[in-house]
């Protein structure tokens, strides 16, 4: 029960923020805008890519 509810909360909140960012005239930046901003610096690129590698390793390799 807790598992299903947790997955539902995670999925709904993720979808909510993505939709909110893409909503016309929304003041909340979309995921693309946010990543574009973060990836514009070398530090941001390094941290984001390192985090991406860790996600893959964590969920698929261990």
Q: Which residues bind other proteins (CB under 8 A)?
A: 2-3, 6-7, 10, 13, 17, 20, 22, 27-29, 32-37, 39-40, 45, 48-49, 52-53, 55-62
Residue number, 7 or 43, with CB nearest to other proteins:
7
Say if residue 14 is exposed, middle or buried (CB neighbours under 10 Å; 0-12, 13-18, 19+): exposed
Q: Write the burial class of residue 44 (CB in 10 Å: 0-12 exposed, 13-18 middle, 19+ buried).
A: middle
Q: How far is the CB of 43 from other proteins (least distance, A)?
A: 13
Min CB(61)–other proteins separation in Å: 5
């Amino acid at each position: 029960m807790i598992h299903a509810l947790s997955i539902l909360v995670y999925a709904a909140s993720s979808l909510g923020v993505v939709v909110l960012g893409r909503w016309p005239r929304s003041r909340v930046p979309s995921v693309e805008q946010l990543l574009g901003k973060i990836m514009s610096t070398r530090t941001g690129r390094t941290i984001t890519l390192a985090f991406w590698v860790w996600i893959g390793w964590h969920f698929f390799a261990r």
